[in-house]
Amino acid sequence: MLAILRHRTYRHLFLAQVIALVGTGLATVALGLLAYDIAGADAGAVLGTALAIKMIAYIGIAPLVGAYADRLPRKGLLGAMDLLRAAVAMVLPFVDAIWQIYVLIFLLQSASAAFTPTFQATIPDILPDEEEYTNALSLSRLAYDLESLLSPMLAAALLTVISFHWLFGGTAIGFFTSAALVVTTSLPHRHVVTRAVEGAWHKATRGARIYLKTPRLVCLLAITLAAAAGSAMVIVNTVVIVKGMGRSQQDVALALAAYGGGSMIAALLLPRVLKSISERSVMLAGAAALFVVLLAFGVALPSLSQSGLWTFLLSGWLVMGFGYALCVTPGGRLLRRSSREEDRPALFAAQFALSHVCWLIAYPVAGQIGAHFGMTAAFLLLAAIAGIGLALGFRLWPVHDQSDLPHEHPELAAGHPHLLEHGETEHRHDFVIDDLHSSWPGRV
């Protein structure tokens, strides 16, 4: 897996991702402390609203950026978004009102909504070999998991010698460093495709229309719903469950580490597994694992003793981390396979936005149902959501999912790649595909 770091361009972008992730992790800790400093006991409500603002920015901004990303220089866009995030981080220590937090969080997350899908869509162009790209996806998954484990530890160590306000300075340094790595990287030339003039709405929804008319990507979204159900339960309610058992903050970290550890194990295994097992089987297995664990907790929770619950929680979180990584890590392979180069930014942006709709559903269920009706109800309802995602994925994803399907093209413009390669003059897709020929050459 680490062999792909020999690619200088990818190595620079991966380091940019890791450093930006560490900065983001520091900001997460600092933001919680800032909210408590300003709002006191209402800090939870402030953070909940900030999380909702984050989701709104992701869902609303990503498709707009994806619509025009093919006309913008990728290096400039990525660097500019890093600089914007650094500027916001530098301003955050000086806020003294809740509304200022909300405005700055919207700016910060809007920049992330522009940066992340553009970054993700660039990697397939740098690593055209599927095996190398799979290794890159697993390495990225490991980076996210390690960040979730190491950033809080780094923040805790720094807070012993500095005020939490200085953590935002570390965040800004991380984004500045990321920007420097990006702008010193040589990205491959992107082919410019001339399209008919499109209205703003039509262009902004282009990626979503391609996405929702591609069967395997509809199934990816269904499996993402199952992944969101499992991860939302872990992220929102781990502290509630563990502290409710009378255990310490260290035990909260241990439980989260079990979840991250399961995810890392899956990420390490996936490059080899995907050589012999299809993405469909791997991702459905991950969704099934999440469904089974959530259901098992919902059924067994009322009868478990304190010691039994702790053992069950650690093992269950480990399995859910493993299942979550199985669900989300291969997604980039499906997006790459289902798009041509010039459509890739829009398609990755659509996945970024639509996947966060799943989390926008799952987070309130995990939080509100757990708070008002108890953890058993939250587990069972999230198990039902995961079950819906699993059932849709199993039902809609063809068992024999071909990468290239026979098709014809009518009324193609002069110079269309298929006219040049095959001389085809009629267009038919075996599966429903967008009328924009977005999945050339026959990738569905």
So where are the chain's domains?
1-188, 211-398
**DSSP sequence for 33-77:** HHHHHHHGGGHHHHHHHHHHHHHHHHHHHHHHHHHHGGGS-HHHH
Structure tokens given for 184:
């010193």
Q: Are 343 and 438 in contact (CB under 8 A)?
A: yes
Q: Are 228 and 361 in contact (CB under 8 A)?
A: yes
Which architecture does CATH list for 211-398?
Up-down Bundle (1.20)
Neighbours of 325 (CB within 10 A): 28
Burial of 261 (0-12, 13-18, 19+ CB in 10 A): middle
Amino acid at 391: A
d(CA 321, CA 314): 11
**DSSP sequence for 332-395:** HHHHHHT--GGGHHHHHHHHHHHHHHHHHHHHHIIIIIHHHH-HHHHHHHHHHHHHHHHHHHHH
Q: Given a cut of 70, is residue 429 above it in pLDDT?
A: no
> What are the pLDDT digits (tens) for 75-93?
888 899 999 999 999 999 9
Under CATH, domain 1-188 is a member of which superfamily? MFS general substrate transporter like domains (1.20.1250.20)
Structure tokens given for 308:
């039994």
Q: Which residue has the tokens 């923040």?
A: 155
Structure tokens given for 127:
């690593």
pLDDT at 164: 81
pLDDT at 44: 57
d(CA 359, CA 225): 7
**Residue with more model confidence, 5 or 400:** 5
Q: Given a cut of 50, is residue 425 above it in pLDDT?
A: no
pLDDT band, residue 437 (cuts 50/70/90): very low
pLDDT at 43: 65
Q: Given a cut of 60, is residue 381 above it in pLDDT?
A: yes
Angle at 183 between CA 182 and CA 187, to 5 degrees: 75
d(CA 384, CA 260): 23
Q: What is the largest CA-CA distance in the chain?
A: 72
pLDDT at 88: 93
Angle 130-159/98-126 helices, nearest 10 degrees? 150
d(CA 287, CA 239): 24
Of the candidates 120, 96, 95, which has an alpha carbon nearest to the alpha carbon of residue 108? 95
> What are the pLDDT digits (tens) for 348-357?
777 878 888 8
Domain 1-188 shares a fold with domain 211-398: yes
Residue 8 φ then ψ, to 5°? -60, -45
Window from 21-25, 41-45, 79-83 with minimum mean pLDDT: 41-45
Of the candidates 232, 182, 219, 225, which has an alpha carbon nearest to the alpha carbon of residue 369? 232
CA neighbours within 13 Å on the CB side: how many for 107? 18
Q: Given a cut of 60, is residue 115 above it in pLDDT?
A: yes
**DSSP sequence for 99-140:** HHHHHHHHHHHHHHHHHHHHHHHHHHHH--SHHHHHHHHHHH
Task: Please provide the distance, in angstroms rounded to a whole number, between the alpha carbons at the two ends of the chain.
Answer: 28
Report which DSSP code applies to 190. Answer: P
**Residue with more model confidence, 205 or 291:** 291
